[in-house]
């Protein structure tokens, strides 16, 4: 039995108020549950992989806040089955979603839970990425609801993680020497010139390596991965909640957005599986094959 994506959604920042990673992740998560027609109590584990948060919040774990907003097994007595929900943050930058997929495979294989919910949300600490021209990422969230499938040919293949050569050319940090009294609403993201091309080159190299290691026929595979200058407005997809006023690159939610766009586009002839590729700071990359049910 393979692990499949039962539902996937994205959520973007609406309105004039400040963006919230908790609110966006919760909205994407609730949309997944609605699409799959399951209750929050059916989710045993929630993994949150977002990096940038409102007001630079790092404690408590945002996963617990998302769990509360979605209403996932908050009471041992009221929600005795499957069990009190377990949630935690897993931070691995652009590769976070695929790292969470790898962990979810192990959790589902043990039978300790029937469903795993992955959320990924990044927002500018100041509440609106559109007001900071030097901040590269969109205020964007995504969610995957994962469960087992009776179809032996469907689901995720192995997840592989790769380290690139050389020092990282992307850093995000709070500059304590310069933050002054506005540190809760500021963040510094430093990327060297040509980082996008290097990221794409790393993704391409790891795609070839993954195909060789797992004997994957790339002529039958649709690759979903990072591209230079990708933007959340490109290729709006059904089930992908896209806001034309939202500019910037997707970050941790990129694999979810890419998956939705791939499903919405006409499938090229003879392509019978997806290869999800993520690449980012480290430099590092991660790859995983996926075959939707019915392909």
Q: What is the CA radius of gyration of the chain?
A: 18
pLDDT of residue 84: 57
- Helix H or strand E segment including 256: helix 254-264
The mean pLDDT value for 2-17 works out to 89
* Cβ neighbours of 16 (radius 10 Å): 6
Residues 105 and 123 in one domain: yes
pLDDT of 101-147, one tens digit each? 999 999 999 888 899 999 999 998 887 888 888 888 899 999 999 99
CATH code at 206? 3.40.47.10
Residues 170 and 139 in one domain: no
Q: Which of 137, 152, 167 is the last residue of a domain?
A: 152
Task: Evaluate the CA torsion angle 28, 34, 40, 43 in order and state its sign.
Answer: negative
**Beta pairing partners, 9:** 143
pLDDT of residue 240: 37
Proportion of the chain in helix, strand, coil states, percent, rounded to 5: 30, 25, 45
Domain tally, the chain: 2
Residues 84 and 57 in one domain: yes
Phi then psi dihedrals of residue 213, to 5 deg: -65, -35
Strands 140-149, 155-163: pairing kind? unpaired
Strands across the sheet containing 155-163? 155-163, 284-291, 273-280, 221-224
pLDDT band at 1 (very low <50, low <70, confident <90, very high): low
Q: How far apart are CA 265 and CA 259, in angstroms?
A: 10
Residues 252 and 239 in one domain: yes
pLDDT of residue 191: 85
25 contacts 251 by C-beta, under 8 angstroms = no
The mean pLDDT value for 268-274 works out to 90
Residues 116 and 234 in one domain: no
Q: Which domain holds residue 36?
A: 2-152
Residues 32 and 120 in one domain: yes
Helix (H, G, I), strand (E, B) or coil at 38: coil
Helix (H, G, I), strand (E, B) or coil at 120: strand
Residues 190 and 286 in one domain: yes
Residues 134 and 171 in one domain: no
249 contacts 138 by C-beta, under 8 angstroms = yes
Residues 161 and 146 in one domain: no
Residues 70 and 173 in one domain: no
Q: Which of 152, 174, 189 is the last residue of a domain?
A: 152
Q: How far apart are CA 179 and CA 175, in angstroms?
A: 6
Residues 162 and 97 in one domain: no
Q: Is the pLDDT of residue 30 over 90?
A: yes
**Which are the contacts of 153, defined by CB distance < 8 A and separation ≥ 6?**
2, 291
The whole-chain average pLDDT of the chain stands at: 85
Q: Which of 94, 119, 152 is the last residue of a domain?
A: 152
Residues 72 and 200 in one domain: no
User: pTM of the predicted model, to two decimals?
Assistant: 0.88
Q: Which of 271, 278, 283, 285 is nearest to 230 (CA)?
A: 278
**Which are the contacts of 180, defined by CB distance < 8 A and separation ≥ 6?**
none
pLDDT of 227-261, one tens digit each? 644 433 333 333 333 343 456 889 999 999 999 99
């Amino acid at each position: 039995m393979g692990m499949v994506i039962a539902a996937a959604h994205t959520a973007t920042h609406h309105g004039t108020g400040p963006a919230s990673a908790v609110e966006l992740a919760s909205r994407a998560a609730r949309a997944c549950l609605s699409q799959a027609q399951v209750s929050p109590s059916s989710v045993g584990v929630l993994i949150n992989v977002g990096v940038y948060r409102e007001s630079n919040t790092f404690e408590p774990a945002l996963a617990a806040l998302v769990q509360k907003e979605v209403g996932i097994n908050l009471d041992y007595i009221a929600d005795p089955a499957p069990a009190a929900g377990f949630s935690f943050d897993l931070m691995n930058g652009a590769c976070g979603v695929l790292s969470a997929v790898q962990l979810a495979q192990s959790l589902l294989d043990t039978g300790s839970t029937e469903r795993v919910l992955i959320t990924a949300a990044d927002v500018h600490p100041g509440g609106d990425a559109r007001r900071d021209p030097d901040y590269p990422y969109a205020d964007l969230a995504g969610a995957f609801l994962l469960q087992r499938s009776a179809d032996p040919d469907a689901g995720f293949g192995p997840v592989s993680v790769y380290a690139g050569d050389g020092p990282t050319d992307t850093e995000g940090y709070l500059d304590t020497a310069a933050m002054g009294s506005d540190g809760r609403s500021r963040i510094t993201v430093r990327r060297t010139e040509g980082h996008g091309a290097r990221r794409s080159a790393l993704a391409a190299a790891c795609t070839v390596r993954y195909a060789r290691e797992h004997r994957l026929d790339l002529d039958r595979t649709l690759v979903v991965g990072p591209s230079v200058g990708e933007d959340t407005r490109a290729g709006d997809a059904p089930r992908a909640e896209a806001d034309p006023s939202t500019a910037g690159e997707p970050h941790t939610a990129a694999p979810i957005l890419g998956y939705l766009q791939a499903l919405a586009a006409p499938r090229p002839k003879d392509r019978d599986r997806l290869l999800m590729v993520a690449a980012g700071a480290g430099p590092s990359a991660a790859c995983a094959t996926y075959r939707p049910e019915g392909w």
